[in-house]
Amino acid sequence: MNIVITIIICLLVASVALATRPLLRPELSMCQSRRAHFVHQGQNYLFSWIDQTAPKMDWIDARNFCRQRCMDATSIDSASQWQALKRVIEPTLRADMGDLSSREPEDRVPAIWTSGRLCDFDGCEKAEHFKPIHLKGWFWSSNNQRMSDTDCVSGQRRCFHEWSNHGKFGFPQPDSRELREEGLEGNESCLALLFNAYSSSSSSSSANNNSAEAGLKWHDKACYHKMHFVCQDSKTLLRYARRKWRGTNIP
């Protein structure tokens, strides 16, 4: 079978599988024993590349891993939260990367799922506030908060995002590069944080470089990729769990 046809079939199968999997509800024991590698403004954060029980997962599985623990994939709601996360996460990734020269190119860029999602699924066509979706269509699925427009100018209200200035082929993010590369219609509908992607430091283990793309940047990615992820306490799921299991200790 032609390799391009094979890739297209795999992409379509993966997309269907993601669309049909449900989101899971919290599990009492997991909520009680959830781990925290970082705490910011009273919320716990779990980093999957540090947690020994968390393999790389696709976007839905990553969210479900978090949700069973009264958490969800992280939403980045403020500039202060984003800066705090970067300060904590980037050193752990540098330590985890090791000798990059011995890795395959696609494994040289640590990638991390967030709860970021593009509103391009059934029902979104009725949401006028998400149009046009390439500018206004991104939101945090863990709390249903819309992100600022992808073309907002730094200094504007809530404009603190760090979409990368260029992806693999040099286009600003989001660019839906992977699907277009395979001749497919559609979008890369999930938001990942990529570390030192497509910069001078992605080909060496040096932590010091002058590239504007150094550090964590926002990229759109196809949701079926298996990646690391960040879990964050979910106020909604903690409230649900504490009501369901009244009288039990859920920190």
Q: The tokens 């046009």 sit on which residue? A: 132
Residue 239 lies in a domain: yes
> Which residue range is the domain that position 7 belongs to?
3-244
- Helix (H) or strand (E) holding 32, with range, is helix 28-32
- Residue 107 domain-assigned (yes or no): yes
Length of the chain: 251
Residue 250 falls inside a structural domain: no
pLDDT of residue 14: 41
Q: How far apart are CA 35 and CA 44, in angstroms?
A: 8
Kindly report the number of other CB atoms within 10 A of residue 39's CB atom. 11
Q: Mean per-residue pLDDT for 166-176?
A: 86
CA distance 231 to 65: 8
CA 246 centroid distance within chain? 32
- Mean pLDDT, to the nearest integer, of 153-167? 82
pTM: 0.83
Q: Is residue 249 part of a domain?
A: no
Tell me, letter by letter, the H, E, C secondary structure of 111-125.
Answer: EEEEEEEECCCCCHH
Label residues 49-78 b or e (16+ Cβ within 10 Å = b).
bebeebeebbbbbbbbbbbbbbbbbbbbbe
Residue 128 lies in a domain: yes
Structural domains in the chain (count): 1
> How far apart (Å, rounded) are the C-alpha atoms in residues 215 and 217?
6
- 120-144 per-position pLDDT tens digit: 999 998 999 999 998 999 999 999 9
Q: Is residue 251 part of a domain?
A: no
Top mean-pLDDT range of 84-98, 121-135, 149-163, 193-207: 121-135
CATH at residue 165? 3.10.100.10
What tens digit of pLDDT does each residue of 2-38 get? 433 333 333 333 444 455 799 999 999 999 999 999 9
49 domain-assigned: yes
pLDDT at 19: 57
28 Cα distance to chain centroid:
25
Please, what is the average pLDDT of the chain?
83
Query: Is residue 76 one of the residues assigned to a domain?
Result: yes
Is there a contact between 147 and 133 (Cβ–Cβ < 8 Å)?
A: no
Is residue 206 scored above 50 in pLDDT?
Answer: no
Give the phi and the psi of residue 208 in degrees, each rounded to 5. -110, 120
